[in-house]
Chains A and B, each alone.
Chain A
Amino acid sequence: MKLLIKNGHVIDPGNKIDEIMDILAEDGKISKVTRGIDVKADTVIDAADKIVMPGIVDMHVHLREPGREDKETVFSGTKAAAKGGVTSVLAMPNTLPSIDSAGVIKMLSDIIKKTANVGVFICGAITMERTGKKLTDIAALKKQGVIAISDDGNSIDSDELMWQALKEAKKEKLLVICHSEDKSLSGKGVVNLGITSTRLGLRGIPKESEYKRVARDIMLAEKSGANVHIAHVSCGESVEIIRKAKKKGVKVTAETAPHYFGLNEEDLLDYNTNMKVNPPLRTKDDVLAVREGLKDSTIDVIASDHAPHTENEKEIEFEHAEFGSTGLETELAVSVTELVSREVLTWSELVKKISLNPANVLRIDKGTLGPGKDADIAIISADKEWVVNKVGFASKSKNSAFIGRKLKGAVEYTIYKGKVIYKA
């Protein structure tokens, strides 16, 4: 099976390529990236005026299977991924049951083998049932194939237990992804604490609940020497703490989600529950700080934090609605609109944040288009504008914070292991 992509603007920061080239893939692998490839292929795609990039590696995705198949499944979630130009996802462990034992991982692996449309990697839980009480058998999880551990959705309150987890993770050479939140401060809050919580009459979540825990997680990371990754950075203070730690040489990486650089707290003044996310949308200044953090490489990764929920869980009173927005199908376009168009990042830098860096953080052989690599490719119309519509999501859920937004940048093709899995 040969696939030939002609005349595309290939952006592959992993190989320092940023020019018009052709790409040939054979039997699922990239075989050649050069100018003027002239061979007979089973599929030929004319990518003139389009950007050809390594498929997106989204390291923060809630596929909800097993347990909440009414929100999303491996099948529907990876369909949504394909539609969004995403070819690898890291499935977070807050499922029912949690991904906290070899048995559950085996079950999930089988489902992935049978139904996944893109590459699905598994993130195991740090503690049993993600309750922050008792460590999982981290060595067993690793043996069963998880590539990272996290209690995402929860933070481990006990410093002692977190310390143990990091030592264990270091031994097993596993990445620890931190949902950094001090719930004694965030409490029953639902929006950013400040003028917005006051104006809406809702309980607030202070930034301290995030950055105080970011600071702890980084301190423990430094001491333990484990690889720590801070998930969904939303505020300026967190960015600054991570910046300082990196300068000091701490092994820490960080990620943010499109809603933290594309939306701010003022966008939810009409109680739009799709914008109810955790951490909450912050101030305009925080948005600028997050963008600055992306620009100066304090924040390494853009990941969607794709969090599907049913309408029953969202079309209710704001304080009762679930936290989370879907994101797989909009993350690239939001990034193009809010970062590339605003000249925060170049296209090449964006590809780094959304494809190359997450692959490196996860230590998976993805995110570049070099010969011999998996032919995971996204082809993009960079200037095409479209409006996010509630109708037409591939995801089972429709709770996108960006519904109604006009975005720039449209996925034309998604190719996974040399096969076209999505075509606009």
Chain B
Amino acid sequence: MTKKKTAKWFHKDLLGLEYLSKEDIELLLDTAESFREILNRKIKKVPALRGKTVVNLFYEPSTRTRVSFEVAAKRLSADVINIAVESSSVRKGETLNDTGKNIEALKADIIVVRHNCSGAANMLGRNVNISVINAGDGWHEHPTQALLDMFTLRKKTGRLEGLNVSIVGDIAHSRVARSNIWGLTKFGAKVTVCAPDILIPPGIEKMNVKITGNIDEALGEADAINVLRMQFERDDMKAFPSQLEYFKKFGITEERLKKAKKGIIVMHPGPINRGVEISSEVADGANSVILEQVTNGIAVRMAVLFWVSQAKP
């Protein structure tokens, strides 16, 4: 962190990694590095956000992201309020903008928003003067997840540039995939997306990624693999064969890993579906960093909360 001490942060909001420069991301990762140390201390708390209020505004059920933000905010001594809103009645009741403005009027400082609609965080950010952090919007972005993935990768390998990262699974409906692609490609990592055809969104090659429908190809050169959660219950999956079929063709198993680079890093944003996209042996195995990701997530979110609260108005 020392070398970046003079760096400045100019973003009121964190809406997505598309909107950040490489330097912005580096600042967040470096800051997270020092916050990561704090998590190993006996007293895991610093006063950086004392007197600030963070509101977790969640329109989608989420345990891990919400709790991670809550822990991060508390480690920084902020006050945290959790609001869970039923999203099934979007067109009834209060609009997102009105809710945001009310939270602002309650003198909160930061809104962490999770929403099922792509672009919801962008809209909220435009309409309130306080900071908005996107904790996942529709299929659009999940910037703090990608930051923690990048943080974990950098910690494990010491670099991001030139790293081969394969993202496997439902790319089409994944905000985690999009944020990872934006972030990793800014650092010169080589990203491959691997999925059945119907889960590859059109035009994604223009985001500087390689596309393959062959899992062994995706694993071949990979230094790391990010396995996405499969959601077979969604409407858009009607045209999809079956869960078993998917596991046969794309599931990450020990046999498949044997053919990959030694020491390949296996990541997953969670919650994992054992036996659906990843076998238990791999999820719990030596290559897996899934639980480290969870811990690193706190440090990364502390860094985001910290810098967003420092933003020049």
Contact = CB atoms under 8 A, between A and B. Distances in A.
Interface of A: 193-202, 204, 270-271, 312, 315-320
A318 B119 contact: yes
A267 to B, nearest CB: 14
A201 B206 contact: no
Instruction: Determine the interface band of chain B, counting residues with CB < 8 A from chain A.
Output: 20 to 34
B139 interface: yes
B203 A201 contact: no
Contacts of A201: 118-119, 137-141, 175, 178
Nearest to A196: B203
Contacts of B18: 199
Contact of A194 (B119, B122, B138, B203): B203
Contacts of A319: 117-119, 138
Closest 4 CB pairs of A and B: A195-B203, A201-B139, A201-B140, A271-B119
Given A195-B202, A195-B203, A318-B119, A200 B96 contact: no
Contact of A204 (B90, B120, B202): B202
A318 B118 contact: yes
Nearest to B127: A315
A197 B207 CA distance: 12
A270 B123 CA distance: 8
Given A198-B203, A320-B91, 11 more contacts: A194-B203, A198-B207, A200-B119, A201-B119, A270-B126, A271-B119, A271-B123, A315-B123, A317-B123, A319-B118, A320-B117
B204 interface: yes
A229 to B, nearest CB: 31
Contacts of A202: 118-119, 138-140
14 contacts: A195-B202, A197-B203, A199-B203, A200-B119, A202-B139, A204-B202, A315-B95, A315-B123, A316-B95, A316-B96, A317-B119, A319-B119, A319-B138, A320-B117
A269 to B, nearest CB: 9
Judged by DSSP, the binding face of B is mixed
B269 to A, nearest CB: 16
Nearest to A273: B123
B20 to A, nearest CB: 15
B207 A199 contact: yes
A198 B140 contact: no
Contacts of B120: 317
Contacts, number: 74
Contacts of B138: 201-202, 319
A199 B171 CA distance: 12
Contact of A197 (B97, B175, B202): B202
B180 to A, nearest CB: 13
B115 interface: yes
Contacts of A194: 202-203
Contacts of A197: 201-203
A3 B118 CA distance: 55
A80 B274 CA distance: 60
Given A315-B97, A317-B119, A320-B90, A200 B206 contact: no
A197 B204 CA distance: 10
A195 B126 CA distance: 24
A370 B79 CA distance: 75
Nearest to B175: A201
A140 to B, nearest CB: 37
B96 to A, nearest CB: 7
A202 to B, nearest CB: 5
Interface string B204-236: 101100000000000000000000000000000
A319 B204 CA distance: 21
A151 to B, nearest CB: 25
A195 B127 CA distance: 27
Contacts of A270: 122, 126
Contacts of B207: 195, 198-199
A198 B90 contact: no
Interface in B148-180: 172, 175, 178
A203 to B, nearest CB: 9
A385 B203 CA distance: 37
Contact of A317 (B117, B201, B202, B204): B117
B96 A198 contact: no
Contacts of A317: 90, 96, 115, 117, 119-120, 123
A195 B172 CA distance: 12
Contacts of B203: 194-199
A199 B178 CA distance: 8
A199 B119 CA distance: 11
Contacts of A199: 18, 178, 203, 207
Contacts of B137: 201
B204 A318 contact: no
A199 B139 CA distance: 9
Contacts of B97: 315-316
A270 B16 CA distance: 11
Interface string B67-111: 000000000000000000000001100011100000000000000
A193 B202 contact: yes
Contacts of A200: 118-119, 140
Contacts of A193: 202
Contacts of A312: 95
Interface in B113-153: 115, 117-120, 122-123, 126-127, 137-141
Nearest to B174: A201
Nearest to A198: B201
B78 to A, nearest CB: 27
A172 B127 CA distance: 52
A165 B126 CA distance: 47
A72 B53 CA distance: 43
